[in-house]
Amino acid sequence: MLKIEGLSVSYGDRRVLHNVSLEVNSGEVLALIGPNGAGKSSLVRCLLGQQKPTAGGCFLFGEDVWKRRARLMAKVGVVPEDPDAPPSMTARQLSAFCARIYPTWDAPAVEARLARFGVPAGTPYGNLSKGQRALVALALALASSPELLVLDDPTLGLDAVARRAFFEELVGELADRGTTVLLTSHDLTGVESMATHVGMLKGGRLILDEDLEALKSRFRRLRYANEATEDPTRYGQELSDFDAVKVKVRGWGVEAVVSNYGDESFARFAALEGVVDAEASALSLEEIFVAIAGEASPAVKGNA
């Protein structure tokens, strides 16, 4: 469905993407996350044929998007970070305009979604709130029944009500049709409710590309007391089997985030002399992101 091969992007002497490669198969939902400036928006622009890569390429449905953009975009729905449209046109007029471009356009579905969102279809686009404009963009992006949906941080700056409506509509769409999605977002709680895979960019490099459930299964937060040593510099050495990405010494003991958790290895660890009251707890995607993006190295990379 979507393939990126050796993608590099530079602006003058500044390289923002370094040899990035990834694939998204039919029906998958890839959440592409990373700190600000990691290169997410540059990757999306290349993927949509809006920007020519410095090196490498992007392919949709097996074709080079830079060479076949006009034809390929008919199969793609897009919600940009900052949706834009002629301010005097209403959502209903925008739908009628797009209907002349897309042969599979479903105008009644647009009206139905706007009604669910509580967005007035007859109000000029320029008079809508930021959240309403984002929901109009989503309704339009889905109206052609796209094979691929590309969402570039679509809920950035939206209030809680608009974010919830946006993600609930997406979850319903995926349940009904199994649409393939590439999503960049800072709203990791919303992302976690729908993603099947996660890719993480850091410093322009892809440091993680993995099934979400597999990622969450190997990350844990461990808490324990270590009575085997009085030397604080030695705390954490007993975690060598877990590939710890963050270790903090607390007044009561040690807290660590590990990236190679296993039930059997944890049982052996908990039985070590001096390790007391060992506990392991699951992490949310946001907690994993903070641990990796803040201090981890590319060695954390999963199934790239």
Residue 294 lies in a domain: no
Q: What is the pLDDT of residue 24?
A: 94
Strands in 14-24's sheet, in edge-to-edge order, are 14-24, 2-11, 55-60, 63-64
Name the strands in the sheet holding 180-184, side by side, starting at the edge strand that comes first in the sequence.
76-79, 148-152, 180-184, 29-33, 197-202, 205-211
In this structure, is residue 273 part of a structural domain?
Answer: yes
Closest CA to 299 of 220, 184, 205, 195: 205
pTM equals 0.85
Check residue 157 and give its pLDDT. 82
Question: Kind of pairing, strands 76-79 and 148-152?
Answer: parallel
CA-to-CA separations, 86 to 125, 133, 153, 194, 283, in angstroms, rounded:
7, 12, 21, 31, 43
Amino acid at 163: R
Is residue 257 helix, strand or coil?
Answer: strand
Alpha-carbon distance values, 215 to 3, 37, 195, 218, 220 (Å) = 21, 23, 12, 6, 10
- At residue 152, the pLDDT reads 92
* 293 assigned to some structural domain: no
Query: How much is the pLDDT for 230?
Result: 57
Length of the chain: 304
If asked whether residues 201 and 111 sit together in one domain, one would say yes
Question: Domain for residue 291, yes or no?
Answer: no
Q: Do 180 and 270 reside in the same domain of the chain?
A: no
How far is it, in rounded angstroms, from Cα 226 to Cα 272? 10
Q: What pLDDT is stored for residue 201 in this prediction?
A: 94
Task: Name, in order, each residue with C-beta under 8 angstroms of 262's C-beta and a sequence gap of 6 or more.
Answer: 218
Determine the pLDDT at residue 231. 54
Residue 137 lies in a domain: yes
The per-residue pLDDT for 298 is 35
Partnered with residue 180 across adjacent β-strands are 148
Q: Is 192 part of any domain? A: yes
Q: Is residue 178 part of a domain?
A: yes
Into how many domains does the chain fold?
A: 2
Q: Are residues 199 and 262 in the same domain?
A: no
**Is residue 116 included in any domain, yes or no?**
yes
- Identify the pLDDT of residue 302: 40
Tokens 């970070």 -> residue: 81
Q: What is the pLDDT of residue 252?
A: 79
Instruction: Identify the pLDDT of residue 235.
Output: 53
- Same domain (yes/no): 18, 161: yes
pLDDT of residue 156: 84
Do 224 and 199 reside in the same domain of the chain?
no
| Sequential pLDDT tens for the chain (304 residues) | 899 999 999 999 999 999 999 999 999 999 999 988 889 999 999 999 999 999 999 999 999 999 999 889 989 999 998 888 999 999 999 999 999 988 899 999 999 999 999 999 999 999 999 999 999 999 999 999 999 999 999 888 888 888 888 888 888 888 778 789 999 988 898 889 889 999 999 999 999 999 999 999 999 999 998 776 555 555 566 788 899 888 888 777 889 999 999 999 999 899 888 889 999 999 999 999 999 887 433 333 343 3
Domain carrying residue 130: 2-209
So what's the pLDDT on residue 85?
93
CA distance 243 to 257: 9
* Burial annotation 251-267 (CB, 10 A radius, 16+ → b, else e): eebbebbbbbbeeeebe
Q: 134: which residues sit within 8 A by CB, 6+ positions away?
A: 79, 83, 154, 155, 158, 162, 166
Q: What is the pLDDT of residue 171?
A: 83
AA letter at 88: S
- For residue 209, give the nearest of 195, 199, 217, 219 by alpha carbon: 199
